[in-house]
Structure 1
Amino acid sequence: MEQTIQKSLPVGGGSWVTVEVYGEPDAPGLVVVPGAMSDARGWRHVAAAVDAWPSVTVVNRRGRAPSGPLTSTYSLQTEVDDLGVILDECKGAQALFGWSYGGLIALLAANDRPLRQLIAYEPVMRPFGRHILPDLRTAEEAADWDATVEIVNRQLGGLDTAQVEALRADRQGWAELRHLSRPAHPELAALNSASLPEELARRADRVDLIIGQCNHGTAPYGTSFGDVRRRVTRAEVHVLPGQGHLAHIQAPAELGHLLNGLATAR
């Protein structure tokens, strides 16, 4: 489906969030919450591939333009509260989908309010990425966003020197990663400082967890997925063949097809 409108919603504390809506703007549908190093634009191809709901609303979380700043009081709870504002705006949303850090935000939101369906792709929780926090803080204090992108991709994503240099060779893509990396330290710090309830998504009628086949059982994404899975005992687990953490970029049509199938399985 095609994008139809963009909305800006005040969330208090001098910040705001924007959402990009695909399909029928007033029809309840799927709400998508991207994670770190990602924004609404990065999910446009997945949104275009989804047709099982009449609308797809993609959140542009605070800290990435054109949404507002994180602010000094930022925490994981801030994200959950922001999502609550968005869900109030999208009255009657049929399903909530979160990716990575966005998956954890969505799972926590489903503790606060009843939801028909919660879907999360490789959600993460502490101690995910804790070992890179000192290096990320140093890079942030120096406003060295090249270093931030490299730290995330090498020390967390596991890319080697040649793979990082291949990313850097794409000047436009690297510039986008630099921009998206600015909230990386405070977001990862918030994730690792939050105390989580023993049960997640307890008010969701149905919970579907997705993991890429390439990450199944392997650190860091597969092991963090396992930590989350133990807190969502009612969830059904689905494996996306041939994919890793970046399926929304590398296989958006396949991910959209899987989401369509989960909708029809309700």
Structure 2
Amino acid sequence: MLEVERDGVRITLTRREGAGRPLLIVPGVMADAASWQPVVDALEVAGPVYVLNRRGRRPSGELGGDYSVRTEIDDLVEVLDEIIAVEGAQRGVDLFGWSFGGLVALEAAAQRPAAVNSLILYEPVARPFGRHVLPALWEADKAGDLDRVVEIVNRDVSGFSEEYVSQLRRSAVWDVLRRLAVPLARELTALDQHHADLQELGRLDLPVTLLLGGENEGVPPYGDAFAAFALALPRARVVTMPGQGHLAHAQDPECLARYIDQALEVRREAEARLSQP
């Protein structure tokens, strides 16, 4: 495990052993390093694989009083610099971000492009994503009703059916989701308050792969958010994953790992071509 401290807050990462260029995974809301471990286990990359436990996820520290998306970006920049120092990764880190973590990864790469070798963004989101649920979310948060928070994010944000949510409630995953839901109201509020200049971010001179679950193509909310990023990043390589939605890391981690491996292989092949005389 790697630890970074910024502004008195502990930020932790898991690490899978490896030799070569590091890969850093940045989860979104309602997820932590443990929930991404099945993907890590299925990856075939040779280098070390890190997964960030963002603020609000144990054993990392709390969100902090002045929390914003900028807080997350600055955390990630600090983490990138630390990984490069620890690994001696002079050519940078391959950076993967999912959902909320995709936006943070893109913003951090724009702030510290020399630290990033390539970007893979799986259905990133930006404002006004989730705005319509914020009043209900804060009401549940203030009441300490984490069950209600989990219901809202699954039914009213992600669009899952009542039957799906009922089955989820009866599963062992529900207690994990309740724990991960603690910072959700503040995270989605921060997302809604963050003005991401996607056109400016689109000028970033880095190889970018955008991953889209086939079930979300053209379908709100994730398909709409994805389309905005794809439009702003016209040089990005867009890859659709048939049969997948927004939760491939939980529902089909082996499949998602294959797409990540393929994106990194495409990048390696491009580098090899450029290095030829």
Q: Does 2:187 correspond to 1:187?
A: yes
Please list, as runs of the form range in 1=range in 2, the aligned pairs for 1:61-72 lying within 5 A after superposition. Answer: 61-72=54-65
Shift of 1:233: 2.1
Cross-structure match for 2:16: 22
- What's the secondary structure of 2:40's corresponding residue? helix
Shift of 1:201: 5.7
Between structures 1 and 2, the one with greater strand share: 1
Q: Distance in 2 between matches of 1:153 and 1:133?
A: 14
Cross-structure match for 1:161: 162
Is the 8 Å Cα contact of residues 214 and 245 (structure 2) preserved in structure 1? yes
Is the 8 Å Cα contact of residues 30 and 181 (structure 2) preserved in structure 1? yes
Q: Distance in 1 between matches of 2:71 and 2:156?
A: 27
Shift of 1:203: 3.7
Q: Distance in 2 between matches of 1:204 and 1:246?
A: 29
Between structures 1 and 2, the one with greater helix share: 2
Cross-structure match for 1:227: 228
The residue type equivalent to 2:10 in the other structure is W
Cross-structure match for 1:174: 174
Please list, as runs of the form range in 1=range in 2, the aligned pairs for 1:90-129 lying within 5 A after superposition. Answer: 90-91=83-84, 92=89, 93-114=92-113, 115-129=116-130
- The number of residue pairs the alignment matches comes to 258
Superposition RMSD on alpha carbons, in Å? 1.3
Shift of 1:123: 0.2
Please list, as runs of the form range in 1=range in 2, the aligned pairs for 1:1-266 lying within 5 A after superposition. Answer: 6-12=1-7, 14-24=8-18, 27-91=20-84, 92=89, 93-114=92-113, 115-170=116-171, 172-197=172-197, 198-200=199-201, 202-266=203-267
| Cα pair distance change 1:112/1:201, threshold 3 Å | farther
TM-score using structure 1 length: 0.94
- What's the secondary structure of 1:208's corresponding residue? strand
Is the 8 Å Cα contact of residues 109 and 201 (structure 1) preserved in structure 2? no
Q: Distance in 2 between matches of 1:85 and 1:61?
A: 12
The residue type equivalent to 2:166 in the other structure is E
Shift of 1:27: 4.6
| Cα pair distance change 1:250/1:166, threshold 3 Å | same
